[in-house]
Amino acid sequence: MIPDKKLNDFVSRLRDAAGANLESVVLFGSAVTGEFHPEFSNLNVFCVIRDSSFAALQSLAPAVKWWDGQKQPPPLFMTRDEIGRSTDVFTIELMDIKEHHRVLFGEDVLRGLTIPTKLHRIQVEYELGEKLALLRQHMLLSSGNDARMWDLLTRSVSSFATLFRHALIVLGKKAPAGKREAVQELSKEIGFDGSPFMQVLDVREQKLDRKKLDVADVFSRYFAALQQVVTTVDSMLDSGNTGPV
């Protein structure tokens, strides 16, 4: 299901544009976790370059614009030094990429990467709280508009599922790679209703016709569950009621 020809074409364009400046190209996200769906999933690409100057990046623009024309998100570009210096601020992102990635070109620069866990808990707490606050803002703007409410739900569920997985990690539990499994495991651990997340994932993956659901009811349960998750995880972490991290 993964469009390898498109990926190979993009890597070829990157190599032609960057030359010796391109050190590695890595695929990450749903395309390597087994959750890729051609209708709604993106091809997420991480590129390691030697020179990140303005001129060097400008030479990559034609390849990146072609990729944008394929309706794919722009790649992440970092130098090897930047990766090493970013492990304390991008712990969630780099932890995910390191754990699940596929090298498309060059060296596997993530293989020996050490990611400190001491700040992982802080980032998880921050991201949960921030995304809940943003959801409140956008919920008010979408109120009364079923299409906008569904769009907000289907766009946010992936991020929350990722944070649920990382909440399990900071609570000292084994975290599954899949979104559904992360929802199920955290709901068992702290006792919230995971059903609205499953319904939203079903709608997102076109397994369920959203017309058969009351979006206000789904949103109400989704929002209540998120508030419970944020409050409970914060309380457990602040009280030290966690396993080894």
For residue range 54-82, what is the model confidence (pLDDT) as tens digits?
Answer: 999 999 999 999 999 999 999 999 999 99
pTM (2 d.p.): 0.83
Q: What is the distance between the terminal CA atoms of the chain, rounded to a whole angstrom?
A: 36
Beta strand pairing call for 76-78 and 22-28: unpaired
Phi, psi of 119, deg, nearest 5: -100, 0
* Look-up of token digits 């601020």: 89
Banded model confidence at residue 242, pLDDT cuts 50, 70, 90: low
Q: Which fold has domain 120-239?
A: Four Helix Bundle (Hemerythrin (Met), subunit A) (1.20.120)
CATH of 4-106 among 3.40.640.10, 3.30.460.10, 3.40.50.970, 3.40.980.10: 3.30.460.10
Give per-residue burial for 209-218: e unless 16+ CB within 10 Å, then b. ebeebebeeb
Instruction: List the domain boundaries for the chain.
Output: 4-106, 120-239
Q: What confidence tens digit (pLDDT) does each residue in 8-24 have?
A: 999 999 999 999 999 99
> 4-106 and 120-239: same fold?
no
